[in-house]
Amino acid sequence: MRYQWLLFDADGTLFDYDAAEMAAIAESFARHDLDYQPAVGDHYRAINHQFWQRFEQGEVALAELRVGRFQSLFAELGLTPDVETFANTYLTQLAAQSHLFVGAASLIQSLHGRYRLALITNGLADVQYPRLERSGLRPYFDAVIVSDEVGVGKPDPAIFDVAFAHMGHPAKETVLIIGDSLTSDMQGGVNYGIDTCWLNQAGKTANGLPLTYEIKQLADLEAIL
């Protein structure tokens, strides 16, 4: 068996983050008596994506991302709620969302016992841990690494150093990272010298990144292993 450890990303790989994000932003607007339209959610998604890209590039810290995305959103919408309070509401609502992609739970349950499983995620600890617990998947992972607790996120090698320490320093050739993001999961894996498996559900191009595997859906992972 070539791989001993499977290192999974969370959002966009196991969790349907788009669904969770839209549910959380809509509920947060409702709780603050703000008018919400689907276009607002789409606008927030674009702003949030930009902030996470800047985080991956080391341009903003998580504390800045946490409120900055809403400062930008409300400035463009001409709204003036208390941004800190709204950010707290949003994180509470997001933590309550545990939408898994179809087949994710059965795949993890199937792999458990045959491989050691770890989760490595860019995110906030007070959001990621409750979602993982609510999903029912927490018992299957031997290690969970959250960028908020490490101080850096993927693709920075430092978060992989922490992951490997939690995993007992396995040989790199025995570890496979599975994720949907080219810029964080796949670039991080390539930089760290471990095999990569890109979950490319949207049919994007790899832009020349040297990937080990590419799959269209989670169920395809079994054939690789």
Q: Which residues are identified as catalytic?
A: 9
What distance in Å separates the CA atoms of residue 171 and residue 174, rounded to the nearest whole number? Answer: 6
For residues 75, 21, 153, 172, the Cα torsion angle rounded to the nearest 10 degrees is: -160
Q: Identify the bridge partners of residue 38 per DSSP, sorted by sequence position.
A: none
- Other beta carbons within 10 angstroms of residue 204's beta carbon come to 11
Collect all residues with Cβ–Cβ distance below 8 Å to 24 and sequence separation of at least 6.
90, 93, 94, 96, 97
How far the first Cα of the chain sits from its last, in Å, is 8
Token pair of 97 as six digits: 């969302």
Classify 193 as helix, strand or coil: coil
CB 118 within 8 A of CB 5: yes
What distance in Å separates the CA atoms of residue 27 and residue 8, rounded to the nearest whole number? Answer: 29
What distance in Å separates the CA atoms of residue 123 and residue 147, rounded to the nearest whole number? Answer: 6
- Other beta carbons within 10 angstroms of residue 1's beta carbon come to 7
Dihedral pair phi/psi, residue 100, rounded to 5°: -100, 150
